Amino acid sequence: MARGAHFFDELVRDKAAMLGLIGIVTVVAVAIFAPLIAPYDPAAQDVLARLKPPAWAARGSVEHLLGTDHLGRDVLSRLIYGSRITLMIASAVALFAGALGVTIGLVSGYLGGRADSLLMRLVDIQVSFPGILLILLIVSVVGPGVTTLVVVLAITNWMIYARVVRAIVLQSRQSAYVEAAEVVGCGPVRVIWRHILPNLVAPLLTLAILEFTNIVLAEAAVSFLGLGVQPPATSWGLDVASGRDYVFIAWWLVTFPGLCIVFTVLSINLFAGWLRVTGDPQERDKRFARGVARRRPGTRAARAARAAEGAKP
């Protein structure tokens, strides 16, 4: 518990990371409580209220805070429900890609030898695949849909997990505690489960959060191209696509769903960037030196920090 409190103390001191975390919590809360917050049914059409601008614009009304689209659907409600599908797809992909990548990384790193070089060659080959083009090919054959999208994004994004896990496993295999465990007769399953896996939790969590941004952007792009989430379901990417034809007369249809994507991805980036630095002792050292330098110019630590960063004397 003490560790958790310490962690939170550090987080509060970094304004950007704290803002990021607040942003993430907001998006998750909106997704969970969507039916309670959304003023309208996101699919409900109203022919009499088509293309209404946001409330603060000249013809806008408070009834539709962010206006309505070409079918008279409430933009705000669509955005609120859109967060659900975005987070659902990204979580599912992170889970599947992560599970696949971790398994392959563990096997590869623990067994070593032939199996390792074979699996790593597979990773090399898949990394050089033309990513989105392959997704498009598969989707065009199988047909678009949420399930297809999740499966395809998982198959094209597991490699980074495998690489990270393998590197950590190789490192911890050489440590004294793993050797000790093997000497006292622990089987491979126990060694992996009890002694290696705990080392993976923090870096994997950071990696999954960083990867989340890529998946959110990829889902939005594929849905924008009309090959991801299909109507009547809502997705921010899909909403931008349908607003595209009205960009000349209704700027809000393209702007707001896009801002939702930017808000989500930026929040995650702010938080994950801080998390990455916090989990890395070397990066922590640098950050600490810089912090001291800022607060107390002229001290030894400050001079050391300046020297470390090559600032002007």
Partner 1 sequence: MGRYVLARLWQGLLVVLGVTLTVFVVTRLVGNPVDLMLPLSASAEQRAAFAQQIGLDQPLPVQFARFLGDLATLDFGQSLWQRRPAAEVVFERLPNTALLVAAGLGAALVLAVPLGIIAATRPDGPVDRVIVGAGLLGLSMPQFWVGLILIYVFAVQLKWLPTSGSATWWHLVLPAVTLGLAPLARLTMLTRSAVIDELNKPYVKTARAKGMPRRRVLGVHTLRNVAIGVLTLAGWELILALSGYTVVVETVFAWPGIGLTAIQAIQRGDLFLVQAIVFVIAGIIVIINIALDLLFKAIDPRIDVR
Residues near partner 1 (CB under 8 A): 121, 124-126, 128-142, 213, 217, 220-221, 224-225, 227, 237, 240-241, 244, 247-248, 251, 254-255, 257-258, 261-262, 265-266, 269-270, 273, 286, 290, 294, 307-312
* Shortest reach from residue 128's CB to partner 1, in Å: 5
C-alpha distance from residue 25 to each of 33, 165, 177, 235 (Å):
12, 28, 38, 19
Distance, CA of 310 to CA of 306 (rounded, Å): 6
Q: Which is nearer to partner 1, 61 or 255 (CB)?
A: 255
Phi first, then psi: give them for residue 233, nearest 5 degrees. -65, 160
Residue 100, exposed/middle/buried by CB under 10 A (0-12, 13-18, 19+)?
A: middle
Q: Which is nearer to partner 1, 174 or 282 (CB)?
A: 282
C-alpha distance from residue 186 to each of 192, 194, 289 (Å):
10, 10, 42
* Shortest reach from residue 125's CB to partner 1, in Å: 5
Q: Which is nearer to partner 1, 43 or 136 (CB)?
A: 136
C-alpha distance from residue 1 to each of 6, 7, 8, 155 (Å):
9, 10, 11, 37
* Shortest reach from residue 220's CB to partner 1, in Å: 5
Neighbours of 270 (CB within 10 A): 21
* Shortest reach from residue 131's CB to partner 1, in Å: 5
Q: Which is nearer to partner 1, 72 or 291 (CB)?
A: 291
Q: Which is nearer to partner 1, 180 or 249 (CB)?
A: 249
Q: Which is nearer to partner 1, 90 or 241 (CB)?
A: 241
Q: Which tokens in the block code for residue 259?
A: 């801002």
Residues 6+ apart with CB under 8 A from 144: 226, 227, 228, 230
* Shortest reach from residue 294's CB to partner 1, in Å: 7
* Shortest reach from residue 64's CB to partner 1, in Å: 21
* Shortest reach from residue 254's CB to partner 1, in Å: 5
Return the residue matching tokens 């911890």.
Answer: 172
* Total count of residues recorded for the chain: 313
Q: Which is nearer to partner 1, 33 or 288 (CB)?
A: 288
Distance, CA of 2 to CA of 291 (rounded, Å): 23
Neighbours of 38 (CB within 10 A): 17
